[in-house]
Structure 1
Amino acid sequence: MADWNTLEQELEQLKKEGRYRPLTVWESGSNAWMTLKGRSVLQMSSNNYLGLTNHPRMKKAAIQAIDKYGVGSGSVRTITGTLDIQHYFELELARFKGTEAALVFQSGFTANQGVLGSLLGAEDVVISDELNHASIIDGIRLTKAHRKVFAHKNMDQLEAALQASAGFKKRIVVTDGVFSMDGDIAPLPTIVELAEKYDAFVYVDDAHASGVLGKNGKGSTDHFGLHGRVHIQIGTLSKAIGAVGGYVACDQILKDYLIHKARPFLFSTSQVPAVTATCFAAIRVLQQSGDLIEKLWENATYFRSKVQALGFNTGMSETPIIPIIVGNPALTMKFSDLLLQEGVFAQGIVYPTVAMDKGRVRFIITAKHTREDLDFALNALHHAGRQLSLI
């Protein structure tokens, strides 16, 4: 009989440290207000930045795709073939991102695993920001490449790492466009300049920048006007786009290479037609209206300024990701629980997702939050913060 005693002991230790958290079971779909145990609660942890999960054009597109294609894709695309809707979506996605080509994966996580795992070998080096997402870290671990890590956004350390990497075959600098735990933006122009100086590739994960930064949400490359200078753009279809999936936007040679080499693409069934249709509709919504993104940033600016005025520490936030830094893991989770009692769902995030002394309650502002919603959350923050002597 299998013995799970060690697992049980680890779980008990998590509980003692205040880091144990059961899954929250909602009784309604993703929206600004959701139902939890029959109670209406303000959702402030969702990556649904633009509220597209319930957009009528996207729901209609999904229903039409099911009617035409059914609910599944059959197999991996290299075996069963590519549906025309998948082909045309990738063409549209490439146009949106300003690249020659795009390739869709099952998630942003598998996109990072597939691209990094395919590109990097024992003769190569990858140079990574220390606060890059776990999917980047795991993707790098899958390779035999040499690894160098620079302190968060420290361009002097990046240059030193590039200088020391001249003997490698390929040099790839990897960074998030927007960092998911702190909500700050990568210094992409400087990264690109340094990479060009030392003949390195630039790889940007725009999971939290797609639909948020740049014209019509085209991402950090567009935000900084760096088209043609960023070699690899990774994105997700699971956050601002409102559905699920990931992609790489790149040149045609890299796409063709990944089709033959990227293991998540080769060995996992492709995105289902209804999801592809939904993502297709979302990209068109973004290109036809900037109102949602304007509202998103208006809300984020208002909320951040009010949170700071209350006396909370929002760290390096400069996007709709607004963490309130608490520190101690147990206190962080208690703060989150008190907010829920006040009717606000904002998840506490603690070690190992962040450093042990950097626990935070992370708020994500969306375009669907009203001013009344934000004021409701601010009032809850004031009450809970006073109760725990955080402010």
Structure 2
Amino acid sequence: MLAPGDSWTTWLAERREQRRARGLWRTRRCQAPGGILDFAGNDYLGLAGDPRLAEAQAEGARRHGAGARASHLVSGHLAVHEALEQRLAALTGRPAALLFSTGYMANLGTLQALCDADTRVFQDRLNHASLLDGTALAGARSRRFHHADLEDLERLLSRTPREARMLVVSDGVFSMDGDVADIAGLAATTHRHGGWLMVDDAHGLGVLGAAGDGCVGRAHGIGRVPVLVGTLGKALGSAGAFVAGSQALIDHLVQFARPYIYTTAQPPGVTAATLKALDLLEAEPERRTRLAKLIARFRKEAATLGLPLAGSRTPIQPLVLGESHRVMHWAARLAERGILVGAIREPTVPRGQARLRITLSAAHRDADLEALFEALADCHARDALAEGEVGP
């Protein structure tokens, strides 16, 4: 007979061993400051380590305290939060914006507040997990269309009663592939069927667009993309997220988005740092120029080396190696040289699509890229040698 709690202990052990046996066990790496070349993070503009953001954060904490003390609807909504929401609305060309503590919470809260059992939701098959989870939380009817396939989306929408509330949801830049959604095509298709389009532009904000306003921003107005989500912890180098749209949308989220209502407001120092990041985004366009040059150089030299490039024009440059063990071997070899890259396996990507997720930053030096290319060339050469040894 099992003692009380033993069934849980057994279940945890079984789950652990199943994942280890498949080579999918995840581990955390405690990073010390400096000493490693980071090609795994999302600090696309190199702002996370900028001392001006650190000073703005410290000054914000000195003025307002280390924490906001309460949720936005109790006593935690401060003037610095209000200022940031106004700046984000202006950046994206929307009437209003609403701060969330994380991008995951922004997606979860928005979908939970907008959708119910009567809502028909249509999601790109490669959407971020938070978008899928938000729909599940809302209990909405959800269908997934083939990745970037407007014809498949059209087919699904055409089979939906016109009177139904329809919401089409897509990443702006897909986080594991680096490709950019066809926002104009999605908007036109959705609009034709009387639905709304929601885009999570987490990896486009600050990088794409004429002024770093992302792949949606001002280029695709509120009439075409009524619900726009962006994050602050990637190109802007701080933390948190926001939803931008009409005043009616933001009012609705304030009333009904549970992750917003029941969470302590963002620490004011973080908010102040984000305001400084927006200043630098506007004042230092050379960061984006530098990033674009690094992307072009990476793609040219990776192609010369014969590496398995994907069709990405963003800082996310995946090398699809196929098998999880091969990805882990390459990542380990790079780590031996002091280079950190993302080793992405299932269930984050489909089986057989394991990859190194290499990300570029305006903070990378030319010498950093040279070290990366040397290490990748070594991995590629070792694999070719090993294949020759076991070949016919």
Pair 222,94 (structure 1): closer, same or farther in 2 beyond 3 Å: closer
1:15 to 4, 17, 20: 20
1:136 aligns to 2:131 (yes or no): yes
Over residues 113-133 of structure 1, what are the superposed CA-to-partner deviations in whole Å (9 max), with x where a residue is unaligned?
000000011221111100000
Superposed displacement of residue 318, structure 1:
2.1
Is 2:220 the counterpart of 1:226? yes
Distance 1:199 1:326 in 2: 41
Aligned to 2:344: 349
Quote the residue 1:275 is aligned against.
270
Q: Which moved more, 1:54-63 or 1:108-117?
A: 54-63
Q: Structure 1 residue 177 and structure 2 residue 180: aligned?
A: no
Moved over 3 A (4+): none
Corresponding residue to 2:358 among 356, 360, 363: 363
**Which stretch shows the higher mean deviation, 56-65 or 110-119?**
56-65
Question: The residue matched to 1:304 in structure 2 has which SS?
Answer: helix
Q: Distance in 2 between matches of 1:197 and 1:5?
A: 53
What is the CA-CA distance between 1:169 and the residue it aligns to?
3.0
Match of 1:111 in 2: 106
> What letter is aligned with 1:8?
A
Distance 1:346 1:191 in 2: 32
2:191 is paired with a residue whose SS is: helix
Corresponding residue for 2:367? 372
Instruction: Quickly say closer, same or farther: Cα 1:106–1:273, change in 2 above 3 A.
Output: same
The superposition leaves residues 227-248 of structure 1 with CA deviations (integer Å, 9 ceiling, x where unpaired) of: 2321111011111111110110
Cα distance in structure 1, aligned partners of 2:23 and 2:163: 45
Q: Distance in 2 between matches of 1:84 and 1:360?
A: 44
The residue correspondences of 1:14-163 to structure 2 (distance < 5 A) are: 14-28=19-33, 34=34, 40-163=35-158
Q: Does structure 1 residue 6 correspond to structure 2 residue 11?
A: yes
CA displacement at 1:141 relative to structure 2 = 0.7
The equivalent of 1:31 in structure 2 is none
Please report how far the alpha carbon of residue 289 of structure 1 lies from its aligned counterpart in structure 2 after TM superposition.
2.3
* 2:116 aligned partner, one-letter code: G
Range moving further from structure 2, 195-204 or 51-60 = 51-60
Deviation at 1:136, TM superposition (A): 0.4
1:317 is matched with 312
What is the SS of the residue equivalent to 1:210?
Answer: coil
Deviations 1:35-92 (A, max 9, x none): xxxxx22110010111111223211211111111110101111112411111111011
Matched, 1:388 2:391: no
Q: Secondary structure at the match of 2:48?
A: helix
Paired with 1:307 and 1:7, the residues of 2 have a C-alpha distance of 42
User: Aligned partners of 2:331 and 2:185: how far apart in 1?
Assistant: 37
User: SS at 2:15's partner residue?
Assistant: helix
| 1:210 Cα deviation after fit | 0.6
The DSSP-based 3-state class of the residue aligned with 2:131 is helix
Matched AA of 2:182: P
Aligned counterpart in structure 2 of residue 250 of structure 1, from 245, 252, 257? 245
Q: Map Cα deviations across residues 303-355 of structure 1 (whole Å, 9 max, x no partner).
A: 12211221111223221100111111112111111111122111210011001
In structure 2, the CA distance between the partners of 1:25 and 1:346, relative to structure 1 (3 Å rule), is same
1:233–1:249 CA contact under 8 A, matched in 2: yes
What is the Cα deviation at residue 17 of structure 1? 2.4
Give distance in 2, aligned partners of 1:43 and 1:52: 14
Correspondence for 1:205 among 200, 207, 230 = 200
Report the Cα distance in structure 1 between the residues aligned to 2:244 and 2:163, rounded to whole angstroms.
25
Matched residue type, 2:25 = Y
**What SS does the corresponding residue of 2:350 show, helix, strand or coil?**
coil
1: CA distance, partners of 2:300 / 2:81:
42
Unpaired runs of at least 5, structure 2: 388-392
Q: Which amino acid is 1:10 matched to?
A: R
Identify the range of structure 1 (309-318 vs 355-364) with the bigger mean alpha-carbon deviation: 309-318
Q: Relative to structure 1, is the Cα distance of residues 303 and 380 closer, same or farther in structure 2, using a 3 angstrom cutoff? A: same
Once residues 346 and 80 of structure 1 are traced to their aligned partners in structure 2, the CA distance between those partners, rounded to angstroms, is 41
Aligned residues: 380
For residue 326 of structure 2, the aligned residue among 319, 322, 331 is 331
More displaced 10-residue stretch of structure 1: 381-390 or 121-130: 381-390
TM-score by length of 2: 0.94
TM-score norm. by structure 1 comes to 0.94
Q: Match of 1:269, SS? A: coil
Aligned to 1:239: 234
**Alignment-mate amino acid for residue 26 of structure 1:** Q
Q: Percent same amino acid at aligned positions?
A: 33
For 1:297, which of 292, 300, 308 is the aligned residue?
292
Q: Secondary structure at the match of 1:116?
A: helix
Cα distance in 2 for partners of 1:12, 1:311 equals 37
CA contact (8 A) 1:127 1:173 kept: yes
Question: Which segments of 5 or more consecutive residues in structure 1 lack a partner in the other structure?
Answer: 29-33, 35-39
Deviations 1:252-310 (Å, cap 9, x if unpaired)?
11111111100011111110000010111111211222111111111011112211221
1:186 to 181, 187, 197: 181
